[in-house]
Amino acid sequence: MIQYWKQLNWSVFFFSLLLLSVGFPGQIISARELFTINTADSSPYSTPLNTGIYDQIILKVFDSLGLKVKINHLPSARSIENVDIGLDDAEYARIKGLNEKFKNILPVNEKLLDFSFTAFAKDPRIRITGWNGLKKYNVGFIRGWKIYEINVKNTRSLQVVSSEVELFNMLLKDRVDIILYEKLRGYDFLSKNHISDVFALENPLSVRGMYLYVHKKHENLIPRIEKALREIKQGGEYDDIVGAFIQ
């Protein structure tokens, strides 16, 4: 009988731990607790020192809510899966609709930033409107960028490379007229390499909003995060953060 109660008590103990790790919708987090947020993004959006665009926005927002944050830099799949199982509290930055696949996460509907799929060229006078606007140019992009692999069909010539270094070198050496990348990542590369004769062209080929997701146990926190994000946008702090990476 004593052995039975020991086994029962251990079962209750482990079941309680499981409940605590998963949490409940509407669970309130104390200001003294550590809110763990994952990301798989890289520069200029996120850095190991948390100085990226997303990092600074996230830290500013949660500081205004009085919540202490720890940012974990993880591989893409693990980053989101850890939040889905309740091991961590939130994850950034992802496109809308990810909660259709991961059932335990919810989006914060105020977007962090627009991800702009953009053409770069040495001639800033080039004007491109839509994917068909590429047809008279020699074009290059990085292998694995699905949006370009799917949509770039009709060009004068097409070069596909393996890295951003190869991509920009190809343009600098006039092997192509246009390269396709992401706007702020392109600015980041140009700045770090002191390149002044390559320009982001107007009219991005596609723009996708990027969002923060939280585990469903923090559903009650979503309106507060959305409000804090809107406030830093309206107050100018948001523009200061993003603008520092565009100059």
Rounded CA gap, 127 and 232, in Å? 33
Q: What pLDDT digit, counting tens, does each position of 167-177 carry? A: 999 999 999 99
Higher pLDDT, 77 or 87: 87
Q: Is the pLDDT of residue 23 over 50?
A: no
Q: Is the pLDDT of residue 95 over 90?
A: no
Q: Is the pLDDT of residue 85 over 60?
A: yes
Question: Dihedrals φ, ψ of 22, to 5°?
Answer: -85, -40
Q: Is the pLDDT of residue 20 over 70?
A: no
* Predicted pLDDT of residue 32: 53
The answer to whether the beta carbons of residues 201 and 133 sit under 8 Å apart is: no
Per-position DSSP letters for 83-113, written without gaps between them: HHTTSSSEEEEE-TTGGGTSTTEEE-SS-SE
Rounded CA gap, 110 and 209, in Å? 9
Cα 15 off chain centre by: 34
* Predicted pLDDT of residue 30: 53
Structure tokens at 201: 């062209």
pLDDT cut 90: percent of the chain above it: 73
Q: What pLDDT digit, counting tens, does each position of 125-146 carry? A: 999 999 999 999 999 999 888 8
